[in-house]
Structure 1
């Protein structure tokens, strides 16, 4: 997949709006009851950025970022400030934040994930150097993190039944969802920008 391992500068995302969307297919039966299903196992995030920008310098920076991604062609990293940690946004990451697997005496690789109730969201774009890992509640540094895929590889396989947990900071993989960017000049140094849509991509 065409993806650039670069994060949108945080200042260009100030004033952004967005959230999770789901796709639910609903069939109303003749009896009035409904049959509901979804083809998606994962939710998909959408955002609008740029509407809060007024400085022409920031608009030029966003335009340059847009051009470097060739519009919708290349994906990139985006920091969703409402959901970017294994813990709550205002808390500190801990090695016991999220359960990512159970040892069997042979397995060494585990995938990062964040739980929402009984749903687990796979985390594919962790921030390099942010992960903390524990086995049965004891933190360890004997692991490697692939920050391109979210795979954690322990140096030694955990014993059978051992609980593997992790804490981490992560980005959301997105792309621009428009091939056009618009800026209005109001003065020599400022002007409004039409909000740019972003959409999460599967990686």
Structure 2
């Protein structure tokens, strides 16, 4: 799978729309009862970036970016302005032997918790804490996978938390960019979709 760690232009993404999508099949019986079948265990984000293009210069930048990434072919980073920060996120508890931990973000509502794996943290934003005390060395960050790798395994019982910002790995959901320099922002091309890339 081809992917570049380049971020989609922030000034265009700022005006985009979109968010997480789930897949659920609903079967309704003749007496009105229903059964809901969850097809995806994790959400997949979708975005429409057409609304973020506000000038001829931005349109030219979008066309160049689309060509450079060959439409659907090559993935890239995207900043979701509605959800790009995480603070105090538990990423693990030390056991004295494990040295690698995955960045995650937890979404809590009532008694329910949804855990999202973060694979594209933003450079220079990750802070790691042991039992609430910031750790300034002794670990490496893989900004392409979201993995935190300690040189020495955290001691047993140590609570490991993190603050960070992150991007979403996406690709264009079209191989055809129908746009006009004279007609940016009009109804003739108000649907330029991006879709999150989910790893197997």
Q: TM-score, normalised by structure 1?
A: 0.88
Instruction: Report which of the two has the higher share of helix.
Output: 2
Unmatched 5+ stretches in structure 2: none
Match of residue 38 from structure 1:
38
**1:48 aligns to 2:44 (yes or no):** no
Shifted more, 190-199 versus 16-25: the winner is 190-199
Instruction: Quote how far apart the aligned CAs of 1:31 are.
Output: 5.6
**Rounded Cα–Cα distance in structure 2 between residues aligned with 1:103 and 1:11:** 40
The alignment partner of 1:86 has SS state of strand
Count residues in correspondence.
191
Contact 1:100–1:113 (CA under 8 A) maintained in structure 2:
yes
Match of residue 73 from structure 1:
73
Mark the CA change 1:138 to 1:179 in structure 2 (over 3 Å): closer, same or farther: same
Mark the CA change 1:52 to 1:168 in structure 2 (over 3 Å): closer, same or farther: closer
Match of residue 98 from structure 2:
107
Aligned-residue Cα RMSD (Å) equals: 1.7
The alignment partner of 2:195 has SS state of strand
Contact 1:184–1:192 (CA under 8 A) maintained in structure 2:
no
Unmatched 5+ stretches in structure 1: 88-96
Contact 2:25–2:37 (CA under 8 A) maintained in structure 1:
yes
**CA distances 1:150-196 after superposition (whole Å, capped 9, x unpaired):** 0001222112221110111100001001111122343xxx7436231
